[in-house]
Amino acid sequence: MNRNNSILLLISIFLLSFWNAGAQENSANPKNEFRAVWIATVVNIDWPKAGTDPIEKQKADFIEILDTYKKLNYNAVIVQIRSVGDAFYPSKLAPWSKYLTGKEGKAPADNFDPLEWMITETHNRGFEFHAWLNPYRATMNLNTEVLSPTHDFFKHPEWMIKYGGKYYYNPALPDVQTHLIAVVDEVVKNYDIDAIHFDDYFYPYKIAGEEFDDSASFKKFGAGMSLADWRRYNVNNFVKYCSYSIKSIKPWVQFGISPFGVWRNKSVDPKGSDTQSGQTNYDDLFADPMAWMEHSWVDYILPQLYWSMDHRTASYTKLLKWWAENSKNTAVYIGNGSYKINTDSDKRWNVPSEIPNQIDVTRSYKNINGNAFFSAKSFINRNKSVTDLLMNNQYKYPALPYVVPNSRHIVIDNPTVCNSISDNNCSTYTLNYPLNSKIRYVMVYEAKNGAKLDISDTSQIVDKIAFKEKKDSISIVIKKNKLDKNNTYALSFIDFYGNESKATQLSTTSEKKPTQSASNNGSR
């Protein structure tokens, strides 16, 4: 962009608040906590409701998801943009998804880019956007007649392995790894995402009586390793080089993986968890989250603990403790199975307090920093008894996601008021443009009726507003009838890594200060 460009944020707000950076976090209402929801697109689980829906309905349905979770004070969405070798965005490497347009390879009308639109709408509501990709799954069934001619099944049949009624990319092939990293790179380069996210699908879950036939690749590339070690080596290499590539393009973009909830059972490995899981990451999916954390290849790990707290073979409580004790070098969040509420054979899921209790016990571990919920439709006009508990207790107030791991730093730019004008209806504050920092959001705060400014009081958070680089100033408009001489108002910046600047208190009297020049805006 032009170095002299600045920004216009025209914000009509009713309330503002303040953050005192020296205060301590309150564990009941933490200032920083990851609160995410998965939005699954494969077979239209969450969105779109049907690939044949018109664009305007798809937009309305997506906004309903965002607004529902905004009211619940969530702060991140994990949106599936590639599920079976396809794409929810214009790609040179994959055809359009049939779950978006009803037919694979068919583009949306009017050159609509759903990913760009979703990211904008997500940021406008103060959410992080985590772009979720399934790298290895190529199809959901064996009916290849419905695939686009540009699908990799036709372009590179040598990459495919048939297993369990589906086709998978062969993780062992160097060409496959190169291609899949290019798929990730295309998204990171072209879109303003906050993270790349993989879920639990690496080598496929085992099916009794069927073998994943990668014997030819093992013979060619095995290099004397055991089959299991070689498969883990293939996955680890892919994770490692994905991480390196993402950070080389945009170092603020996070890389997160949500593995199956059990690494290994203690019966197989004394370092494993006290579980009797039928399949595990290490032994069956050939995924080793311990190695990813050890080498800092991921920014966050998000194990899927989709069981009730006292489940007989895989207890949420026991697994949570295990992950807390065995994680290192990365942020750790927990995946919760909200899809099981009132639908599971485990009757604990019929108790409205199961999810709220899981959040409470998660918060008891200092190195576990939040939760994500599968999936979005669980709380869309459903399970009101649970959402009421969350709104009145665990998620009563907003929270900010954590800073990108190993990226904590001081935000040099603080909001500075260069001019303020009042009339009978409102007060307008004009701020200097931040010259030295890449800003993602403006935070808005209010301390009411002379209350002490306190970072642990998350009720003082009013809004998190997307910072848009368009015009020549930052203008904050406050309606006059909402100003109160006993209230304290302030703003802060949040940069692309999630770091927050010092807060600037706003005066309710008109003032004018020199406007700083944007001519030295080389960092933008």
pTM of the model: 0.92
One-letter amino acid identity for 324?
A: A
Structure tokens at 360: 């409470």
**Predicted local confidence at residue 13, as pLDDT:** 32
Pairing, β 488-495 against β 504-506: antiparallel
**Predicted local confidence at residue 520, as pLDDT:** 36
Which domains can be identified in the chain, with CATH numbers? 1-29+406-524 (2.60.40.10), 33-392 (3.20.20.80)
Residues 6+ apart with CB under 8 A from 218: 172, 227, 230
**Predicted local confidence at residue 12, as pLDDT:** 33
Structure tokens at 159: 């990459």
Coil vs helix vs strand at 515: coil
**Predicted local confidence at residue 193, as pLDDT:** 98
Name the nearest CA neighbour of 211 among 174, 173, 168.
Answer: 168
pLDDT digits (tens, 9 = 90+) for 231-272: 999 999 999 999 999 999 999 999 999 999 999 999 999 999
DSSP string, 92-153: SSSPBPHHHHSSTTPPPGGG--HHHHHHHHHHHTT-EEEEEE-SSB--SSS-GGGS-TTSHH
Residues in the chain, pLDDT under 50: 1-26, 511, 515, 517-524
pLDDT digits (tens, 9 = 90+) for 289-343: 999 999 999 999 999 999 999 999 999 999 999 999 999 999 999 999 999 999 9
Q: Distance between CA 310 and CA 96 in Å, rounded?
A: 43
**Predicted local confidence at residue 472, as pLDDT:** 62
Residues 6+ apart with CB under 8 A from 160: 138, 152, 153, 167, 168, 169, 170
